[in-house]
Copies of this chain bind each other. A is one copy, B any other.
Amino acid sequence: MSHRHLILGLLLEAPMTGYDIRKRLCETMSMIASPGYGAVYPTLHRLLNEGAVTVNVVQQDGRPAKKVYSITRPGREELWAWLREPSEPDKITREFLLKVLLAQNLEPEDFKQHLERRRKETETLYKSLEELKAQPGQRVNGHHNLVIAYAQEMCKAEMRWLDRVERDLNCDGGPGEAAVYT
């Protein structure tokens, strides 16, 4: 249950609607998750009838009524218990990496295109993270910067890796089996 704890964590900051939650995730935390409504609302319903959150229906003129969710005492305790538990080691699920692995069955040109595209994307991501850091007022959560720093560190590592792969590719002309990549 990944979204469950993520949502509880957001509600810890401030009460929010499902719409807000989804927006927040997609806008300032898109590197962590960008769920559709089909993930957000059902999760909130579950949390509600398990007593981890409460609703407050707010009528609005013109606009449809809001449902503002707040975290409850039991909800907070569940979240804390989960937080204290050690997190299990995680996989590198990147589709890109899987393609790298299988790309040896591809034309070298296609492989190089993948690398180039990746480099551009990584650069873009790095810059957008830089902008996120600079945004004033957005810093609701103090540890948000830690996460951004983490993501940037990963970007840098990826660039280093790309450098190495491309260098090897140019040196010994193609992905030969002799390359050792120490």
- Interface set of A (CB-CB < 8 Å, partner B): 2, 5-6, 9, 12, 30-34, 79-80, 83-84, 86-106, 110, 114, 117, 121, 125, 133, 139, 141-151, 153-154, 156-158, 160-161, 164-165, 175-177, 179-181
Contact = CB atoms under 8 A, between A and B. Distances in A.
Specify how many copies of this chain sit in the oligomer: 2
Contact of A150 (B95, B161, B179): B161
A164 B153 CA distance: 11
Given A12-B105, A106-B84, A160-B153, A145 B97 contact: no
Most buried by B among A34, A88, A157: A157
A91 B32 CA distance: 5
B2 A104 contact: no
Contacts of A79: 102, 105
